[in-house]
Amino acid sequence: MQKHVKRGLWNHLMKDGIEMGLASIIYEVGVASKYVNHAMRTGDLGLAGTSNLYGEDQLALDVLADEIIKDRLDHTGRVRRIISEEQSEIIIFDREKRSGGYAVCYDPLDGSSLVDVNLSVGTIVAIYAGEDPLQDGSRQVGALYVLYGPRTTLVYSAGHGVHEFTLNSLGEYVLTRENIRLKESGRIFSPGGLRADYLPEHEKLVSHLEDNGYKLRYSGGFVPDINQILLKGGGLFMYPATTKAASGKLRLPFELNPMAYLMEAAGGAASDGEKPILELKCHDLDQRSPIYIGSREEVALAEKILSRK
């Protein structure tokens, strides 16, 4: 019997009918991720001696991943501006005043502090039409993440379903899950932040989930924790407002908007506790927001309990 030949990423992007420029951006992030994957499993993890917008020491890997992805996005010839979590300002590739092209926001290596304890980390990418990378999340035309775990996987959506590809031993991303869908409700929850810093209404939500038998699953890496909820078919990831940080920890342009786009595309939901993440006005590279993301039922439950202040 003829061996089943799995579909590659470019073949899927073309069959998905995605505009060539957008397809090339998604594909080139996949190319970049192979170099990041290699560097992670063989490269130098020492400090790079620089720091990012948030004043965090940059691991050499952060800086290297950022450079690799930036170069591959420029290589497409279709990206006009980018913002990266590791850069302190907008990077302009194309100064021409013209229509078309794309803007890209990315976190090159989210959770990088987990690499040296051999936990999974990821690359997160949001894609917008035009030149402005600081648009509201609802205006995304595509989003993807790469998860560097026991296997290296790439999950994307460009408006026609959510699809997973796995990097094989030949260095090809082959289709492993197509049209991923979340159930209405799940059984796992990921409670970010310190319990001692929880606001009372958030504490009530976490206690409710525990009292109702939800299993706690939290790695400290946004990409693996979200990926688990997506592929297990449901659950709730939370990183709340706390007594120490009224806007929580996670960044709207680089982490929350792309993951909210993907989760909604898979039939889930993403809220700041009151309204959809994708409806938040995005105005600053350093903008953060509380997040409740996962199955529709759990996100609705979170909004209901949080509203009882």
Site string for ligand AFP, 154-193 (x = CB under 6 A): --------------------------------------xx
15 is written with which tokens?
């069959």
Bridging pattern class, strands 236-239 and 140-148: unpaired
Q: Is position 37 an interface residue for ligand AFP (rule: CB under 6 A)?
A: no
Q: Is position 66 an interface residue for ligand AFP (rule: CB under 6 A)?
A: no
**Degrees (nearest 5) of the Cα angle 260, 227, 269?**
30
**Taking CB positions, which residue lies at the least distance from ligand AFP?**
222
| Least gap, CB of 294 to ligand AFP (angstroms) | 13
In this complex, which beta carbon is closest to ligand AFP, that of residue 186 or of residue 248? 248
Q: Is position 113 an interface residue for ligand AFP (rule: CB under 6 A)?
A: yes
Q: For the residues of 233-299, what is the DSSP string, one character each?
A: T--EEEE--BSS-TT-SSBIIIIIHHHHHHHHHTT-EEESSSSBGGGSPP--TT-B--EEEE-HHHH
Residues 37/152, Cβ–Cβ less than 8 Å: yes
Instruction: Kindly tell me which residue out of 110, 131, 164, 272 binds ligand AFP, with binding defined by CB under 6 A.
Output: 110
**What is the helix (H) or strand (E) element at residue 19, kind and residue range?**
none
Q: Is position 111 an interface residue for ligand AFP (rule: CB under 6 A)?
A: yes
69-to-31, 36, 86, 241, 302 alpha-carbon distances in Å: 9, 9, 11, 31, 35
Q: Is position 290 an interface residue for ligand AFP (rule: CB under 6 A)?
A: no
24-32, 106-114, 176-184, 301-309 -> range binding ligand AFP (CB under 6 A): 106-114
In this complex, which beta carbon is closest to ligand AFP, that of residue 102 or of residue 222? 222
Q: Is position 52 an interface residue for ligand AFP (rule: CB under 6 A)?
A: no
In this complex, which beta carbon is closest to ligand AFP, that of residue 78 or of residue 249? 249
In this complex, which beta carbon is closest to ligand AFP, that of residue 103 or of residue 121? 121
Site string for ligand AFP, 244-283 (x = CB under 6 A): -----xx---------------------------------
189-to-166, 207, 215, 229, 293 alpha-carbon distances in Å: 25, 11, 6, 8, 10
199-to-233, 245, 247, 291, 309 alpha-carbon distances in Å: 28, 10, 12, 14, 10
Binding site for ligand AFP (CB under 6 A): 110-114, 192-193, 220-222, 249-250
